[in-house]
Structure 1
Amino acid sequence: MEIKVSEVANLPTKYGDFLIQCFAEGCKEHLVIMSKELPKIPAVRVHSECLTGDTLGSKKCDCGEQLEFALNYIANHGGMVIYLRQEGRNIGLLNKVNAYALQDKGYDTIEANHQLGFSADERTYEIVEFILDFYGIKKIKLLTNNPKKIESIKDVAIVERIPIKVEPNPHNENYLKIKKEKMGHLL
């Protein structure tokens, strides 16, 4: 598949001043938000889009807080957030809202996905290695709790895993428990 790459632009934010670049993969347009200078071994967060958490501040998940943690970390230590357009573990916004409705009825996040005909996690990460290679990055410090993300990066050395610590709240305690117990997240 052909991947189109945008120009680089400045992105001043409440977290710091970054650069932004877009990688279009078919109909999905992924973003890279990066410090103006990349260290020799940059910190990298691979973050999948979560409109409800990232933009609306949903307390049902920890996505928005993980993104904020990563942007603050990158602002202070250098690196990048690779923002993948894979809403709702790549089931799309409509299905994610339907999964939320099933969760309201007592299903956990994995059971809700299964009820809708999806696996627990439909995300893929092939574009990540393309992006890292595009910037000539061979070694990273990976900001993640997700072992699937660690396993997916094969051609770049992960010299350190930086855990993302988020305080649970009454709305996401079970969600975090399921991520740890059923998905193997390193919480």
Structure 2
Amino acid sequence: MSCTEITCELQTTTFRHVNLVSGIRCEVPHDQHVSHPDHLFRGDMKLGAKQNYYCESGYGKTAEEATCTRDGWTPNPLCAGMKCGPPPHVNNADTVEMTKKEYNTGERVEYMCFNKYTLDSHPAFSKYLTCQQGEWRGNIKCLMPCSVTVGDMDERGIELAFADQQKMFAPHDDHITFKCQRGKVSVGFALRQKCNDGVITLPVCV
């Protein structure tokens, strides 16, 4: 074969290779949890094309932008499920089950308040924290009990109406009923008082 023929063959092979490479296109990544892929990945999808993108809820980007390669869009995957670490500490509560090192989006952890503490049942609170996009979401609040000692009552001339104890606890939203010590009369606050997150108003008898 002459040099001219070799050169011609090389040029033809190179031309075919260039045509083959330039003909590579990347398809719309419907299976990679990309948000609105048909809207974002349109237009020039040739080899080497770059495209900014966003991920569906619960997934995070694995790169700033996607690149069209011979193997399709890279990195692969474009979006990965975001995980949470161990659940956080909650005041006056603990998890019901043993915790893990990692949690997937959508997994939740149940908490239980310590003894004599009461879980706040208002709509803004619950007994669960949920892993969402790499962060723990939710609000848990354990309301404190109230305690009354003999010393507290002696200072105010009162005693427990229905019990004979050195110290009494009342959970949040529960009531304690007092009575005046012998020979004294009530002044001011009612003798039946409700515990409100660790605070209770003690009546006075003189």
TM-score by length of 2: 0.18
TM-score by length of 1: 0.19
Structure possessing the higher relative contact order (Cα contacts under 8 Å, 6 or more residues apart):
1
Q: Which has the higher strand share?
A: 2
| Larger Rg computed on CA atoms | 2
